[in-house]
A = this chain, B = another copy of it.
Amino acid sequence: MATLKDVARETGLTVTTVSRILNNRGYISEESRKKVEAAMKKLDYQPNEVARALSKKSSNVIGLIVPHINNPYFAEVISNLENEAKKKRYNILLFNSKSNDDNELKYIDMCKSNRVAGIIMMSGSVQMEEFSGLNVPLITIERNLECGTASIECDNFHGGEMAARQLIECGAKTLLHISGVNETEMPADERSVGFAKVCEAQGVWHREIKTTVKQYDSGEYHELLTELLLEYPEVDGIFASSDVIAAQLIQVSKKLGKRVPEDLKIVGFDDINIASLTTPTITSIRQPIKEMASTAIKFLLDAAAGKVVPTRMILPVQLNERESCSRGMIS
């Protein structure tokens, strides 16, 4: 592989001059710059990011720890984070924790070993003391970690309010909220607070049903949903805390002879691609994933550069009305 010396030899310039050109330091003539660019291309010279990382003590890499890559919500967040990181010339080192604490700790160690510029966590019930020795920014997205540098969240409380209002305004009178994981405290828990507040203000019967980590990790809710529809036959509106749950609720409703939205109105959360691929399509609360991703990257790089960043940032959600609960179809 070509080295800096080879580029210098090819151009007739000194190694110092070539290095200055590559790092944009000091005055450089247009002619020298063009010479170096031509030589780099001819010799297929690639700046050694590894050597650069060693001298800078940190690399052009951001560690990203997620619980389940193939959960479509996380896939969409990863895609957006990758996109935003690239704009700042950073790369993403990807870790799939499978919601396992041991994995999370191991991956944080791997991030340190690889001298990442910072870590973004979307996974984690890891305790504070475990992060000792972490001298890079730690940004969380939709997770509670007291020790993090900054926490990025969507407006879960308002999302819960919107879901309740949409169901009630479309005519639902008896509501369930199939909510987040029982075992872990998460920002998403605020959805049920907002949901209950609206139901109570409007005098609408409602109940919250918590789900389990096991269901979350497997993405399998059919059994729970069948039991719920049989136990609460009078329910005519359900707020599902993810579109994956909402999709399975459509399937179970059909098996039990309930029509969506005529007999049962459904509002999901996340607004990922599944929401528009089901029949009927799913009305869903959209997380501002793109904005959350760009904020996470910005805060990480700002904090790494020693700037002060907000410790918590809440971004607005919006309702995306589709067929499963629509004002145009009020029955």
A114 touches B61 (CB 8 A): yes
CB <8 Å contact, A96 and B76: no
Which among A70, A109, A281 has the greatest number of chain B C-beta atoms within 10 A?
Answer: A70
Q: CB of A48 within 8 A of chain B? A: yes
Q: Which of B48, B86, B109, B279 contacts A46 (CB 8 A)?
A: B109
Q: Judging by beta carbons under 8 Å apart, are B61 and A93 in contact?
A: yes
| Known A-B contacts A54-B50, A78-B69, A279-B254; A273 and B114 likewise in contact (beta carbons under 8 Å) | no
Q: Are A50 and B115 in contact (CB under 8 A)?
A: yes
Most buried by B among A48, A69, A247, A278: A69
Q: Which residues of B contact A29 (CB under 8 A)?
A: none
Decide: B96 and A79 in contact? CB cutoff 8 A: yes
Using CB atoms, name the residue of chain B closest to A112. Answer: B46
A59 contacts the other chain (CB 8 A)? yes
A44 touches B113 (CB 8 A): no
A interface residue count range (under 10 / 10 to 19 / 20 to 34 / 35 or more)? 35 or more
Which of B47, B113, B273, B281 lies in contact with A72, CB distance below 8 A? Answer: B273
Residue pair B113, A46 in contact (C-beta under 8 Å): yes
Report yes or no: B273 in contact with A248, Cβ–Cβ below 8 A: no
A94 to B132, alpha carbons, bound, how many Å? 27
Whole-angstrom distance from the CB of A263 to the nearest CB of chain B?
A: 14
Q: Are A48 and B1 in contact (CB under 8 A)?
A: no
Residues of B near A244 (CB, < 8 A) are 273, 277
- Residues from 173 to 226 in A contacting B, C-beta threshold 8 Å: 219
Q: Check A91 against B82 for contact (C-beta < 8 Å).
A: no
Q: Is A264 an interface residue (CB 8 A)?
A: no
- Which of B69, B112, B273 is close to A82, meaning CB atoms less than 8 Å apart? B69
The residues of B that contact A310 with a CB separation of less than 8 Å are none
A132 touches B44 (CB 8 A): yes
CB neighbours (8 Å) of A54 from chain B are 48, 50-51, 54
Kindly identify which residue among B68, B70, B133 contacts A44, using a CB–CB cutoff of 8 Å.
B133
Q: How far is the CB of A66 from chain B (nearest CB, A)?
A: 9
User: Which residues of A273-290 are within 8 A (CB) of B?
Assistant: 273-274, 277-279, 281
**Contact of A300 with B by CB under 8 A:** no
Name the CB-closest residue of B to A47: B113
- A125 close to B (CB within 8 Å): no
B279 and A277 form a contact (CB under 8 A): no
Residue of B nearest to A89 (CB): B110
Q: A50-B114, A247-B277 are in contact. List 7 more A-B contacts (CB 8 A).
A: A2-B133, A44-B132, A49-B115, A50-B115, A69-B79, A91-B95, A277-B277
9 contacts between A and B (CB under 8 A): A1-B135, A68-B79, A70-B72, A70-B76, A72-B273, A79-B96, A86-B96, A91-B93, A251-B277
